[in-house]
Amino acid sequence: MTDYGIQPTGFVRKPLSLILAEIEASLITEFGPQVIQTAQSPLGQINGIFAEAVAKLWELDEDVYQSLDPDQAEGIRLDILGRVRRVARAVGENDSSFRRAITNVGQARIDVQDISRAIAELEGVIYSHVWINDTGDVDDNGMPAGSICIAVTGGDDDSIAETIRRFVVPGVNQFGSTVIESTLDGYCRTFRILRPIDVPVQITVKVRTFRDGLGCPPPSSIAIKNALLSGLYMLNGEDVTFYRIRSVIESTFSNVEVVSILGMRDGISQTTNTPVEIGFIERATFAAAQVSIEVQP
């Protein structure tokens, strides 16, 4: 029995040195011990070329073997294994984190992140979030006790219903504003999802800028604005607060201090640093033209 290839302990790759030695031994068997196959000889160089080609085949065999194991697969092969588990890689997620999601290390087989990933991966979905009320009372969002709320913007109703059916067992209360239907093997189920209402928010942010400890100049107001727009990801029902704006800007730039914010929705002005209140069925949105950065001296 060979010591290489698929073994009880896994796949064992044959080393290049052994491959070369086996080729040289075969030539001695065929042509006798006087055959010249040193590293500098023409035959020796040919041996090296063939040995390297065989070694690459062993590497390919090992990759194929590992591609079936989430603990060893990488990149696109890990994505394929994720689809078997109905788990999609989040944007920017590395292999290590995605591998834990596939294998459900330390988790139940179906959890919040499973349905969250599945909904977010659907074509056309631009926002989604799964809310859980596992208490015995109505929560602050108005969700009944022991209920789930799937908030989603975009996506096809049928695809969303099909996905929810795979992850939410019958009998679980759902909270939402939109009713969608699913039929499978003649059995019909009705689901509720929340389609958040986009609320345009106008905001003016006053900041102070200065050189950092390394003497680097502060960013421009345009750079600050772009960082805020790209880093400000709001959930439905999340108020626009001074802390939220400040945390995004100051965590991006060490030489920018947020002094105050002035927000407005529905054309109603508010006082400085007062949160812009957003209902649970709403979600704050920000257009570039409605965000202003004022740099104070």
DSSP for the chain reads --SSEEETTEEEPPPHHHHHHHHHHHHHHHH-TT----TTSHHHHHHHHHHHHHHHHHHHHHHHHHTT-TTT--HHHHHHHHHHTT--PPTT--HHHHHHHHHTTTS-SS-HHHHHHHHHHSTTEEEEEEEEE-SSS--TT-PPTTEEEEEEEES-HHHHHHHHHHHS-TT-EE--SEEEEEEETTEEEEEEEB-PEEEEEEEEEEEEE---TT-PPPPPHHHHHHHHHHH--PPTT--B-HHHHHHHHHHH-TTEEEEEEEEEETTEE--TT--B---TTEEEE--GGGEEEEEE-
Confidence (pTM) = 0.64
Q: Is the pLDDT of residue 291 over 60?
A: yes
Q: Return the closest-CA partner of residue 288 out of 228, 244, 246, 231.
A: 228
Instruction: Evaluate whether the domain defined by 110-195 bears CATH number 3.30.200.
Output: no
| Mean pLDDT computed over 8-29 | 89
The pLDDT-based confidence of 107 (bands split at 50, 70, 90) is low
Backbone angles phi, psi at 8, to 5 degrees: -60, -25
Domains of the chain, by residue range, sit at: 5-66, 110-195, 197-296
pLDDT digits (tens, 9 = 90+) for 202-231: 999 999 999 988 888 999 999 999 999 999
Regarding predicted confidence, which is higher, 64 or 272? Answer: 272
How much is the pLDDT for 170? 84
Six token digits for residue 44: 């020796």
CA distance 185 to 188: 8
Angle between helices 95-103 and 75-84 (to 10 degrees): 20
Q: What is the mean pLDDT of residues 65-89?
A: 84
Q: How far apart are CA 243 and CA 88, in angstroms?
A: 32
**pLDDT at residue 31 tops 80:** yes
Q: Which pLDDT belongs to residue 106?
A: 58
Q: Span 77-104, mean pLDDT?
A: 86
pLDDT at 259: 96
- Residue 1: the pLDDT is 55
Q: Which two tokens stand for residue 191?
A: 């689901």
Average model confidence (pLDDT) across the chain: 90
Which of 29-33, 68-72, 95-99, 160-164 comes out lowest in average pLDDT?
68-72
